[in-house]
Amino acid sequence: MNEKLNFAAENLTAAQHPDYKAEIAQILRGTLTPQPMKERIHAYHENDIAAAMELLSREERGRLYGILDTGELASVLEYSGHLDEYVKELTLRRQVDVLSQLEASTAAEYLHQLEKAQRNMLIEWMDKEVREEILLLSSFDEDEIGSKMSTNYISICAGSSVRQAMRTLIDQAEEHDNISTIYVVSEYGMLVGAIDLKHLIIAREHTGIDTITMTSYPYVYVNEQIDECVERIKDYSEDSIPVLDTENKLCGVLTSQEITQLIDDALGDDYAKLAGLSAEEDLQEPLRKSIGKRLPWLVVLLGLGLVVSSVVGLFESVVAHLAIIVSFQSLILDMSGNAGTQSLAVTIRVLMDEQVSGKQKLLLIRKEARVGVVNGLILGVLSALLVGAYLTLFKGQPVLLAVSVSLCTGLALLLSVVLSGLSGTVIPILFKRLNVDPAVASGPLITTINDLIAVVTFYGLVWMLLINILHF
């Protein structure tokens, strides 16, 4: 019975989640003639076709290139994470045609990776309009928002009637399919506002569009740094965000797809910083560049590590008197690091909101202090009991020594958890106050600081309580 149920469950899962990639690959590996093959491939989404390309050989991908027209192939490659590899498999003429059909930002990013001579040759073969658009995007630094914008948008003149706006929409829709939001510009090209397509459709034809124009629409400037405005962008659930030049003229938009990618990249960079890197890495990144991201922080951490080692050296006499305490050093260090990392993660998440007030930051510190005290008490009691039992039952130590060491360990764990939690909260807040990315003050840095806290706390208590007071 169980076997039947498992089999049914597997079939149900397969029915709910068909393997489109495998199906597409099977079609392209089959014996169908081009036209029936094309008709069957058209039944699948471009994202699934792009995913299936990873399963195909170069020869099989060549068959796909042959049955898709240029626009279809460009739509598929927009979803691919291997654009640079697949484009190079095409003829030069087909490369130019496909790049011309891609989003200008995607094409510009691809061309930027090529040798200058090859890049200039491909750009020269493109239509004038496409060439100018790609050159415009290439004129911005990769960290500027202008390098990510698209010219795929609809714009209409302020003062138009609904009928005139609909006619303009129809005329422009042949070249621009991003029509959910229509932008209203002045006669000089300055952004006036935006109109939701739904509102334009239901409005009476002789109505002036000014009455349905949202004038408080969000926007960004072309020269803004991506990491500075991505937080502001993600607060809006719009299909696109207009990009303005220094004269407030509309020169492009950020599509929802590009916004999602920017947010994903920002999260990737934040994650990288939590690991002590200057930016996110990928599989294709050159060795020298990867080393450049990691080495500076490793050098800083080496210096801090030497400080920790030096502090441990100050307590050599303590270790000489009570060698057994070394067994519990890693316990204090690990728990201190874990507590600090938890507080750090909470703090970084809170600080992502640019609107957090000073009062809210103080509340966060108080909260983390209370959490640290409660967690420290629980962990301290547990560690004291376990350490005492371990020394008595397994090491045969005198009861007085076992109790003293266990109580000292528990107290050290309590203090280190509280102090480490506070360091994981206070340090990022201080960095934020100094206009330094708080994610920089994270990961390995906090861990090293917490190691220092744990060492001083643990050995300091042993020296003071066990040696100077109890005279072990």
Residue carrying the six token digits 């302020």: 158
The CATH number given to whatever domain includes residue 363 is 1.10.357.20
The tokens of 276 are what? 């002590």
Spans of the chain, pLDDT less than 50: 1-5, 7-15, 276, 278, 281, 283
The DSSP-derived string for 154-205 is: EEEETT-BHHHHHHHHHHHHTT----SEEEEE-TTSBEEEEEEHHHHHHS-T
Enclosing domain of residue 177: 154-274
**For residue 461, what are the CA distances in angstroms to 340, 374, 390, 411?**
20, 20, 20, 8
| pLDDT value, residue 39 | 92
| pLDDT value, residue 281 | 47
| pLDDT value, residue 284 | 54
**Are residues 138 and 175 both part of a single domain?**
no
Q: What is d(CA 169, CA 150) in angstroms, rounded to the nearest whole number? A: 18
In a domain, 3, yes or no: no
Tell me: the pLDDT tens digits for 169-193? 888 887 787 888 999 999 899 999 9
Q: In 3D, which of 87, 85, 28, 92 has the Cα closest to residue 55?
A: 28
| pLDDT value, residue 259 | 76
**Are residues 75 and 108 both part of a single domain?**
yes
**Are residues 49 and 180 both part of a single domain?**
no
| pLDDT value, residue 265 | 67
254 beta partners: 241
| pLDDT value, residue 267 | 60
In a domain, 4, yes or no: no
Q: Which of 88, 120, 142 is the last residue of a domain?
A: 142
**For residue 351, what are the CA distances in angstroms to 259, 269, 340, 383, 436?**
21, 15, 16, 33, 12
In a domain, 399, yes or no: yes
**Are residues 417 and 383 both part of a single domain?**
yes
**Are residues 458 and 312 both part of a single domain?**
yes
In a domain, 2, yes or no: no
Q: What is d(CA 340, CA 334) in angstroms, rounded to the nearest whole number? A: 10
The CATH number given to whatever domain includes residue 182 is 3.10.580.10
**Are residues 331 and 446 both part of a single domain?**
yes
Residue carrying the six token digits 């990315």: 437
In a domain, 148, yes or no: no
Q: In 3D, which of 231, 238, 232 has the Cα closest to residue 214?
A: 238
In a domain, 107, yes or no: yes
Q: Which of 274, 301, 332 is the last residue of a domain?
A: 274
Q: In 3D, which of 346, 312, 352 has the Cα closest to residue 422?
A: 346
Q: What are phi and psi of 103, to 5 degrees?
A: -55, 135
In a domain, 282, yes or no: no
**Are residues 270 and 300 both part of a single domain?**
no
**Are residues 347 and 452 both part of a single domain?**
yes
* Domains of the chain: total: 3
Tell me: the pLDDT tens digits for 354-386? 667 888 888 989 999 999 999 999 999 999 999
Q: Which of 142, 170, 195 is the last residue of a domain?
A: 142
The CATH number given to whatever domain includes residue 126 is 1.25.60.10
**Are residues 415 and 307 both part of a single domain?**
yes
**Are residues 385 and 254 both part of a single domain?**
no
**Are residues 186 and 80 both part of a single domain?**
no
**Are residues 165 and 297 both part of a single domain?**
no
Q: What is d(CA 438, CA 269) in angstroms, rounded to the nearest whole number? A: 12
CA-based max dimension of the chain: 97
In a domain, 5, yes or no: no
Which spans in 352-468 are helix H? 358-389, 399-433, 444-461
